[in-house]
Amino acid sequence: LCLEKPASRIVALSPGATELLFAAGAGGQMVGAVSFSDYPPAAKKLPRVGSYKRLDLEAVLALKPDLIVAWHSGNPLPQVERLQALGLPVYYSEPRRFADVGTTLERFARLAGTEQVGQGAADAFRAGIDALRERYADASKISVFYQVWEEPLMTVNREHLISEAIQICGGVNVFADLPTLAPRISKESVLEKNPQAIVAGGMGEDNPGWLDPWRQFATLQAVKNDNLFFVAPSTLQRPTPQMLTGARTLCRHLDSARARQ
């Protein structure tokens, strides 16, 4: 995507894109976002253009954006293509690895003309992740089940960013080999895998309630050793710089699990 000049009216079609744009220094140019775009706090004040699953095209057009940042696998493609057909510039973004987060920050900054801020954010993120990789390179392995949702019960495979965070911390995702990025699973399959640690994101930033139902399974290694851990979902379930905070929290949890072996 090429723009004649830096974008001055940006609409983001996912909470993650909103957060990345702010981190890249483009918050001042943002004029709209979808529901649940709640970080940083300034994002809450942006006009809403529907949800990432169902866009309000009239609301988008009314904001007269000169750049739309779309989520390729999350947004309804026919609606995004309709915006493109109307002549609006659309940039598709979907970070899948930690390396992509830094690259996306740089690209957003280039589109918004905020290169210095974006480059600084990208460099800081990369340095933090590299430090974790080095620290845990030789850590003893801990088998991990990550619960991304409760009903239906869902996890992540090896292609998901959360799985990369687990690997960085010296963990082994017990469902890494499943073919779907965020597969539905059964409780029986978790019991069969018998992970040493269970990590859940929960329904809110300070609500670890999803861990409680697992306590009834006393034979699970994670339960026997009290290795049931919570990580605030905004720090690990969005592909943004906050994932560095989430990864650090996850690494500390797995350190606790190692100490209880």
What are residue 90's DSSP bridge partners?
A: 68
Summarised one tens digit per residue, pLDDT across range 78-127 is 999 999 999 999 999 989 899 999 999 999 999 999 999 999 999 999 99
Average pLDDT over residues 170-178: 97
Residue 4's pLDDT is 87
Residue 96's pLDDT is 87
Q: Which CATH architecture has domain 10-127?
A: 3-Layer(aba) Sandwich (3.40)
Residue 2's pLDDT is 80
How would you class 105 by CB atoms within 10 Å of its CB: exposed for 0-12, middle for 13-18, buried for 19 or more?
buried
Is 55 in contact with 34 (CB distance < 8 Å)?
Answer: yes
Amino acid letter, residue 14? S
Residue 203's pLDDT is 67
Summarised one tens digit per residue, pLDDT across range 11-52 is 999 999 999 999 999 999 999 999 999 999 999 999 999 999
pLDDT above 90 for 204? no
pLDDT above 80 for 71? yes
How confident is residue 219, by pLDDT bands cut at 50, 70 and 90?
Answer: very high
3-state secondary structure at position 18: helix
How confident is residue 1, by pLDDT bands cut at 50, 70 and 90?
Answer: confident
Residue 73's pLDDT is 84
Residue 220's pLDDT is 96
Q: What is the DSSP string of 36-50?
A: T--SSGGGGGSPB-B
Residue 210's pLDDT is 87
pLDDT above 90 coverage of the chain, percent: 89
For 168, other C-beta atoms within 10 Å of its C-beta total: 21
What are residue 172's DSSP bridge partners?
A: 143
On average, the pLDDT of the chain sits at 94
Q: Where are the domains of the chain?
A: 10-127, 138-259
Q: Which CATH architecture has domain 138-259?
A: 3-Layer(aba) Sandwich (3.40)
Q: What is the pTM (predicted TM-score) of this model? A: 0.90
